[in-house]
A and B are shown apart, each in its own frame.
Chain A
Amino acid sequence: MTATGDRPAVPFWRRGRLGRVWNIAAVPVASVFLALAVAALIILGSSIITTGSVDWGLPFVAYSALLQGALGSPTGIFNTILQATPLVLGGLAVGIGFKAGLFNIGGYGQFLLGATAAAGVGAALATAPAPIGMIAALAAGMLAGAAWGWIPGALKAWSGAHEVVTTIMLNSIASSLIGFLILGPLLAPGFSFGRTGDLGNSALPIILGGNIHLGVLFAVAAVPAVWWLLYRSTLGFEIRSVGANPSAARYAGMRPAFLIMLTMSLSGLLFGIAGATEILGVSHFMIPSYGTSIGFDAIAVALLGRSHPFGIAAAALLFGALRAGAGLMQVLASIPVEIVDVIQAVILLFLAADIVVRRLFRIRAAGGIADLKTVTSSYGGRAG
């Protein structure tokens, strides 16, 4: 090896505090750009099918329309924020699970239960003086989500049943359960279809523009709150310890079984708030066939944000912007909105295959993405 004293200086973004952020964020950021490039290729390919020749400009038209739709106007920005709100809450829910070594794919069910509970309580208290119904409905949503999250937590703590299996089953149970509730005890009379009653005073007030409701602030507040919990409180230290090494956590005097139940409940609670705010702030009533992909989108957000609350906020805003801008892209470039799902999926592929991204961008290894270990870790194993 020859003398290498004249080695190039380390660039500023790899030094100090910024360097630490770079280490964590490099692969996710690179994955986003790679996914946009892959989607551009797909758009080019689609132009052959629709016009018979390659329209080289089409990806630029599509992406600029996407950008304009998401951020080009106050309405666009409001839509981005509105789309991002449940993603932030859901992303935090999945992220906090990852920190404890738990893979909560029951977000769908926890969200639906939270939404239904909020809709039911909100409608029942529709005529109560202003904040009472709202607060009660939110509390009901949180409790319902937390309870639905607690079940798989307790099953894992007591019997070792893997949360991936139990949360999938609980998703199916949840969608049947809300059907029973909405068509049964919560059914509002006088409509031609099954739905819950009007919210009246229980609806979340609009605080900005035509559609930014108070629930957006909950998502904004949840980010630093979860960060504080995870990194500044002893409880967060325990949650992270159980995720990183359950045996050492037990040796340290922590109680893994309790922490697993608590973390799953917290995760469910965050999904419950997401469901409650969507109902109380956006759709204002609940139907049995309420469709949402929040459970899976939130996993993508948490992985892209590397389970760090601030990363999750950034990832949720990105996905929110993609969804908010997709409509305008479809109008101006005739690219179907589903391309956004493609981008999201390709991002996940690159995150999972991070060695490819590192090679392409010459990012030095700083260990793989720990959360993926949780996602891919084997089944079974009794907690505690």
Chain B
Amino acid sequence: MAESASVLEMRGITKRYPGVLANDAIDLDLRKGEIHALLGENGAGKSTLMNILYGLAVPDEGSILIDGQPVDILGPHDAIDRGISMVHQHFMLVPVLTVAENILLGEETMANPIFIDRNEARRRIVALGRQFGFEIDPDAKIENLSVGWQQRVEILKALYRKARILVLDEPTAVLTPQETEEIFAVLRRLAAEGHSIIFISHKLYEVLEIADRITVIRRGRVVGQRVPSETNEDDLAELMVGRNVQLTVDRGESHPGDVILSVKGLRAKDNRGREVVSGIDLEIRAGETLGIAGVAGNGQAELVEALTGLRKPTDGTVTMGGVDVTGWRPRQLYESGLAHVPGDRHRWAMIMSFPLEDNLVLTSYYKPPFARGTVRQDDAIEARATDLIDRYDIRTPSAMVAADTLSGGNQQKAVVAREFSRDPTLLVLDQPTRGLDVGSVEFIHRRAIEMRDAGVAILLVSAELDEILELSDRIAVMYRGELVATLDGRGANKEEVGLLMATGGRDPEARTVAS
């Protein structure tokens, strides 16, 4: 692509929210046919900038130029009219409608006010798909499509509306590596045909792979611009976080002490009544981390729930610190030293409509100093919130704002802060860094290692194999409800664990003795 004129320029965009400067004089330019990555930590101001571009927020200062002409974008309709389209992280599709119906939604009155020309719409959708290298069935229902295909429908929706500028907000967060490759191919094709793409991400290797240029934002400011050929992951990470980041955290030898958690023959059923935890035996000692690797959906979620009091085991025993705690309720387990960072933040870990400070004491609100008898002690709750926000670097305008106004990464930091600060003897971490940027991942990993070194027993469940390898002293592989192998954390390599995850170790050579 030759040096071409900017299709979009954002100049000096400044946006203040009460207590935060979300965007501080940001300049951004997008060329025709370019894939421009916007890189930044959770809460750096990427989403605010894109909301301004899409007309969802009004900037306090600054101007937007499209094809060199200053424009006012007053709402999403305005943005769409000017050829700007956004593919959100959480898809805006109606599951029970078909692909064609979803694409027509909101567009149906344009051509003919009464009747929708479905056949014409179908033809255009199929043609558009072919143009960018995929065959799509316009009559497939969204609920029957994989996440990767749903994303393609979102992109088609934008193209159907004649978008020239596409904004993709963390498009790969929900995709498998294979799907990510496929969507990258589509994006390259789009760029080659002259579309311009803003690609928001905090995954460094992806940005290096797909982008033509990379703009890095930190705390609301542009801190640098790079071309992939002249940079690397370490450089980008340092730019993004503002300090030298170690992408892998060193950890010392573990010094296992007494057995803290002992599980024998544990069985549990999922919500549909199928047995998905089929006789688990495991032991974790004080000061060691046991990582459970496995492809998502092999019973890990139910195992964690059965261990943390959220699901009744159907059989087996759970012993904590020598006490039989099988079937205990969450609060009894917490009182015995359990802390739990759940994998599903929205479902379990937070009450999104409540203030951040209430969420920071969600598992200890009933105890002194946060309550005296049954009376809430607001001062103590506020003091704890201020302390945790500071120590865990939770980016928020105040402790009083509702949790759902925080970015996902900061919500996760809040959950981790709350649970880590409860002085547990057993820590259960389920996907503790999902959706977090490198700086936050490093931070949480360091804290987890500190906890281990302080003698806490840690059970780590993660779909990120890198995370398992980085933190675990021992690794157990879960396959179809069973632990099929246990490996030493230091000796394990990625390929070996990956193979066990995929096959359950049916190859007898790959199988080692389960403890």
Mark interface residues in B145-187 (1 if CB within 8 Å of A CB, else 0). 0000000000000000000000000000000000000000000
Judging by beta carbons under 8 Å apart, are B351 and A248 in contact? yes
Which residues B308-326 have CB closer than 8 A to chain A?
Answer: 308, 310
Judging by beta carbons under 8 Å apart, are B62 and A1 in contact? yes
Q: Name which residue of chain A comes closest to B404, CB basis.
A: A367
Which residues B42-98 have CB closer than 8 A to chain A?
Answer: 52, 58-64, 70-73
Known: A1-B64, A234-B371, A245-B352. A252 touches B330 (CB 8 A): yes
Interface size class of B (residues with CB under 8 A): 35 or more
From B70, B71, B331, B351, give the contact of A245 (CB < 8 A): B351
Q: Name which residue of chain B comes closest to A20, CB basis.
A: B400
**Residue A296 at the chain B interface, CB threshold 8 Å:** no
From A240, A241, A247, A255, give the contact of B347 (CB < 8 A): A247
Judging by beta carbons under 8 Å apart, are A3 and B61 in contact? yes
Known: A248-B362, A251-B330, A253-B329. A233 touches B60 (CB 8 A): no
**Residue A378 at the chain B interface, CB threshold 8 Å:** no
Judging by beta carbons under 8 Å apart, are B362 and A252 in contact? yes
From A1, A232, A234, A247, give the contact of B73 (CB < 8 A): A1
Taking CB atoms, residues of chain B closer than 8 Å to A232 are 375-376
Which residues A223-241 have CB closer than 8 A to chain B?
Answer: 232-235, 237, 240-241
In Å, the complex CA distance between A144 and B348 comes to 36
Judging by beta carbons under 8 Å apart, are B349 and A248 in contact? yes
**Residue A2 at the chain B interface, CB threshold 8 Å:** yes
Taking CB atoms, residues of chain A closer than 8 Å to B58 are 1, 4
**Residue B479 at the chain A interface, CB threshold 8 Å:** no
Taking CB atoms, residues of chain A closer than 8 Å to B310 are 250-251
Judging by beta carbons under 8 Å apart, are A250 and B330 in contact? yes
Taking CB atoms, residues of chain A closer than 8 Å to B202 are none
Judging by beta carbons under 8 Å apart, are B374 and A235 in contact? yes
Judging by beta carbons under 8 Å apart, are A234 and B348 in contact? no
Judging by beta carbons under 8 Å apart, are A237 and B63 in contact? no
Taking CB atoms, residues of chain B closer than 8 Å to A250 are 310, 330
From A3, A241, A370, give the contact of B63 (CB < 8 A): A3
Mark interface residues in A192-235 (1 if CB within 8 Å of B CB, else 0). 00000000000000000000000000000000000000001111
Judging by beta carbons under 8 Å apart, are A3 and B376 in contact? no
Interface size class of A (residues with CB under 8 A): 20 to 34
Taking CB atoms, residues of chain B closer than 8 Å to A247 are 347-348
**Residue B199 at the chain A interface, CB threshold 8 Å:** no
Judging by beta carbons under 8 Å apart, are B72 and A1 in contact? yes
Nearest Cβ distance between residue A229 and chain B, in whole angstroms?
A: 9
Taking CB atoms, residues of chain B closer than 8 Å to A67 are none
Taking CB atoms, residues of chain A closer than 8 Å to B308 are 251
Taking CB atoms, residues of chain A closer than 8 Å to B443 are none
**Residue A39 at the chain B interface, CB threshold 8 Å:** no
From A1, A2, A234, A370, give the contact of B353 (CB < 8 A): A370
Q: Name which residue of chain A comes closest to B331, CB basis.
A: A253
Judging by beta carbons under 8 Å apart, are A251 and B59 in contact? no
Known: A234-B374, A245-B352, A247-B347. A253 touches B61 (CB 8 A): no
From A234, A235, A248, give the contact of B350 (CB < 8 A): A248
Mark interface residues in B349-382 (1 if CB within 8 Å of A CB, else 0). 1111110001000110110000100111000000
**Residue A5 at the chain B interface, CB threshold 8 Å:** yes
Known: A234-B376, A248-B362. 16 other contacts (CB 8 A): A1-B58, A1-B63, A4-B58, A4-B60, A232-B375, A237-B358, A245-B347, A245-B352, A248-B347, A251-B330, A251-B340, A251-B348, A251-B349, A252-B365, A253-B331, A370-B353
Chain A to chain B contacts (Cβ below 8 Å), 24 pairs: A1-B62, A1-B71, A1-B73, A2-B72, A4-B60, A237-B358, A241-B354, A244-B353, A245-B347, A245-B350, A245-B351, A245-B353, A247-B347, A248-B349, A250-B310, A251-B349, A252-B330, A252-B362, A252-B365, A253-B329, A253-B363, A253-B366, A255-B329, A370-B353
